């Protein structure tokens, strides 16, 4: 066990170092599906030339649904202040992926919805827990990210977007 702890300690050192040298994250080259079943390249999410908010959610994650509701409620007001897109990436697997369409329709969310059924996109961005939100600037760099959601957290996202 002592060897295992020793190895793990070294990995933590490398991890800390990598955190320092890796100042920005870029979108990986991954393909996911939209609600029509069409394949979407993740890189094309930035084609509109405006900042993009990417958030990972599932139909069974209560804080995720709260976060998407909060964005939905303020969508029109925020669009008047700053132009941006929201991409809500569902990490629901085969158990609940077909429910995504019913959730989106019933809630009338005005966002782009993507399906990441085997979690390739989620894994590529090293998302361990959801909700996990990223703000991407027009150059494709992650300028803000956050794990979890508490009521009111969405205000920080607007502040970041207005600063871009």
The contact set with another protein (CB under 8 A) reads 1, 3-5, 7-8, 11-15, 17-19, 21-23, 25-26, 28-29, 35-39, 60-62, 66, 93-96, 98-99, 101-108, 117-120, 123-129, 132, 144-153, 155-156
Pick the closer one to another protein by CB: 75 or 83. Answer: 75
- For residue 108, report the phi and psi dihedrals to the nearest 5 degrees: 55, 45
CA 74/CA 70 separation, integer angstroms = 7
Question: Residue 135: enclosing H or E segment and its boundaries?
Answer: strand 132-136
- For residue 30, report the phi and psi dihedrals to the nearest 5 degrees: -130, 150
- For residue 25, report the phi and psi dihedrals to the nearest 5 degrees: -115, 140
Pick the closer one to another protein by CB: 50 or 99. Answer: 99
Shortest distance (Å) from residue 139 CB to another protein:
13
CA 99/CA 7 separation, integer angstroms = 43
- Number of other residues whose CB lies within 10 A of the CB of residue 136: 24
Shortest distance (Å) from residue 22 CB to another protein:
5
Q: At what angle do helices 99-107 and 62-81 cross, to 10 degrees?
A: 50
Shortest distance (Å) from residue 55 CB to another protein:
13
Shortest distance (Å) from residue 80 CB to another protein:
20
Pick the closer one to another protein by CB: 61 or 89. Answer: 61
Pick the closer one to another protein by CB: 6 or 83. Answer: 6
Shortest distance (Å) from residue 65 CB to another protein:
9
Pick the closer one to another protein by CB: 24 or 138. Answer: 24
């Amino acid at each position: 066990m002592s060897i295992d702890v020793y190895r793990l300690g070294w990995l933590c050192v490398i991890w800390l170092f990598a955190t320092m040298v890796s100042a920005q994250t870029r979108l990986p080259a991954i393909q996911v599906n939209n609600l029509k079943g069409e394949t979407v390249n993740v890189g094309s999410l930035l084609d509109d030339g405006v900042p993009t908010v990417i958030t990972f959610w599932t139909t069974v994650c209560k804080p995720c649904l709260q976060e998407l509701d909060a964005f939905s409620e303020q969508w029109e007001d925020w669009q008047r202040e700053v132009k941006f897109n929201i991409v809500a990436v569902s990490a629901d697997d085969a158990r609940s992926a077909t429910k995504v369409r019913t959730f989106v329709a019933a809630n009338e969310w005005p966002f782009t919805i993507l399906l990441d059924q085997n979690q390739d996109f989620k894994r590529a961005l090293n998302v361990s827990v959801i909700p996990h939100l990223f703000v991407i600037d027009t150059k494709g760099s992650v300028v803000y990210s956050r794990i979890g959601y508490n009521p009111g957290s969405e205000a920080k996202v607007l502040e970041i977007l207005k600063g871009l």
